[in-house]
Amino acid sequence: MKCLIIDDEPLALAQLEGYIDRIPFLTRTASCQNAIQASEVLAHSQVDLIFADINMPDMNGVDFIRSLVHPPMVIFTTAYTEYAIEGFRLNAIDYLTKPFGFAECLKAAEKARKIYEMNHNSPKEEEEGQTLFVKSEYKMVRIEKEKILYIEGMSEYVCIYLEDRPKPVITLNSLQKLSSLLPSHFMRVHRSYIVNLKKIREISRFRILFGKDVYIPISENYREQFMEYIHSQGLL
């Protein structure tokens, strides 16, 4: 989803930019410090979601969204809770009270993603998006994405481990390319591993356990993002 940020505070703007850049299903179209700049962006760019601060000079975020003929989805961000009722009257997806962390931002963005997918995906597109084809042992193998437990990168090959197959599907591919084809609940937790977050049953000492003898390490480079996801789901 393409998104636009509006916030007159440079530090808050930079923090939100950092959050959005870490969310794989969001693409930041522009960052603006006031409603006038945002209007100029919307005049020549289409966005799906706006993160709008409320208390801004000239025109506040609520009035700006109200002024749009066909407003996109909006998530309001502000330090002033008294605007919450007015924000929800405009059908805001969520209302983030400053200061807020990445986990809260991710949770609000997930709400927007679900609404976006419901509005844009036809039944046929949803069915096609649930599978992928990979070449393995001179044949094309159809894989249901939701049956993937985890994917292991091995040099130029990847091993795709599925819950309904005793052996992995091995294909000439890269983790980076496969990651772009998978839904947002698949996460890179190590330079050599992508895991299906929905299939996690146990975590021990920064290792994800699949079955009795499979331990997927969570490397330090991906640990913060992974733990923020866990917190956002209320698991810790």
Q: Is the peptide bond before 123 cis (omega within 30 degrees of 0)?
A: no
- Whether residue 25 is predicted with pLDDT greater than 70 in this model: the reply is yes
For residues 163 and 20, what is the distance between their CA atoms, to the nearest angstrom?
32
Cα–Cα dist 100/86, whole Å: 20
0.75 surpassed by pTM: no
Which residue matches tokens 């100029």?
Answer: 40
The Cα-based distances of 111 to 84, 116, 194, 235 in angstroms read 17, 9, 23, 18
* Final residue in a domain of this structure, among 89, 120, 151: 120
Per DSSP, helices labelled H in the chain are 10-22, 35-44, 61-67, 84-89, 102-120, 123-129, 175-181, 220-232
**How many domains does the chain contain in total?**
2
Tens digits of residue pLDDT in 78-108: 887 665 555 555 678 888 888 899 999 999 9
- Whether 125 has a pLDDT exceeding 50, the answer reads no
| CATH assignment at residue 81 | 3.40.50.2300
What is the sign, positive or negative, of the torsion defined by CA atoms of 198, 202, 208, 214?
negative
CATH number, domain containing residue 139: 2.40.50.1020
121 confidence band (pLDDT: 50, 70, 90): low
Which SS3 state, helix, strand or coil, does residue 128 take?
A: helix
**Which residues span the domain enclosing 64?**
2-120
What mean pLDDT is reported for the chain? Answer: 86
Task: Express each pLDDT in 27-48 by its tens digit.
Answer: 999 999 999 999 999 999 999 9
As a whole number, mean pLDDT of residues 143-157 equals 92
